[in-house]
Amino acid sequence: MAKHFQSVSELGTDKQVLNVFKGWQDWLFNERRLSGNTCTAYLNDVETFLYFLSKHIGSSISMLNLQQLSITDLRSFLAHRKRSGLSNTSMARNVSSIRSFFYFLNKFGHLKNEAINLLTSPKIPQAIPKALDKDEALSLLETTPGTAMQPWVKSRDKAIFALMYGCGLRIGEIIALNGSDIPLSDAIIVNGKGNKQRLVPVIPIIRHSVAEYMSLCPFTISKNGPAFFGVRGNRLNPGVVQRSMRAIRGSLGLPATATPHSLRHSFGTHLLMNGGDLRSIQELLGHASLSTTQRYTAIDTNYLKEVHQKFHPRAELK
């Protein structure tokens, strides 16, 4: 758990607000089970919010202050953040963080503030996932074994990238796998964001890549221990995977958008291009909302037009 403000003076609040803030922190980590990065971002946002309010109001923030905050006060904070140069994407996350904090306060009977329901997020453009084409994805997977010095590390990287492209897994989901999750069968149960589980099929070539890594790994893969190790015998760090990808894309001349996450996007994109339906792809990727998956329809408009022309009943009426 990340360390955050521990004293009343640092946070600009009275002791009661500090205590509920710590309670919210525990709730995010232990009950909501959000990812570490998301929890840290939420905590940082609300710390900044509370510190701003102490300056805005001119005194330490109390529970009564939080209950009596108006929409004007809340918008003043967003205006302050905007003047600090914060992007609309970060501003939207600030709003989500504050809403989560007030939801916690209301849920557990600390206080209720209706003004939070009037707070709106700035509009942010929907980012279209950057996917590799099929040849780029396959060449990347074939190049992986030649990028590391130790054979087991080469095999590990190949297995990880195969899981990303072949199963659509996130880096964090792969690194979180334990020995009990492998060797792989025809399908794997993945713990995704918010600790939501999903079942993902595993094709033979991916099972073979993971099995090869297991046979070469110099560390003991125990039931409750990590499935993927760093060179020092600890659970693998995401940065190692990202560095490996940078080395590979440099050797292949791929663009900077060729990231580990782009392999996951390529998984979804290529399924769509080969006739997969959005609902199924949503389940396989673990998207909470179909609208997130719908972004893939913007990737290859020409292909979708061809499908429409070929299969729509009215296409026969000319």
- Residue 229 burial (CB count, 10 A): 20
Q: Any catalytic annotation for residue 261?
A: yes
- Residue 232 burial (CB count, 10 A): 7
Which of these is catalytic: 158, 249, 264, 270? 264
Classify residue 59 by its DSSP letter: S
Q: Any catalytic annotation for residue 51?
A: no
User: Which DSSP helix (H) or strand (E) runs through 191?
Assistant: strand 187-191
Q: Any catalytic annotation for residue 310?
A: no
Could you tell me which residues are beta bridge partners of residue 178?
226
Which of these is catalytic: 4, 193, 198, 295? 193
Q: Any catalytic annotation for residue 170?
A: yes
DSSP calls for 108-146: TTS---GGGGG--PPP-PPPPP----HHHHHHHHHHGGG
Residue 164's nearest CA partner among 35, 33, 77, 259 is 259
Contact 169, 200 (CB under 8 A): yes
Contact 76, 29 (CB under 8 A): no
Burial class (CB in 10 A: 0-12, 13-18, 19+), 23: middle
Which of these is catalytic: 93, 110, 249, 287? 287
Residue 317 half-sphere exposure toward CB, CA atoms < 13 A: 3
User: Which DSSP helix (H) or strand (E) runs through 246?
Assistant: helix 238-252
Which of these is catalytic: 81, 93, 110, 170? 170
Which of these is catalytic: 32, 235, 261, 295? 261
Residues with active-site annotation:
170, 193, 261, 264, 287, 296
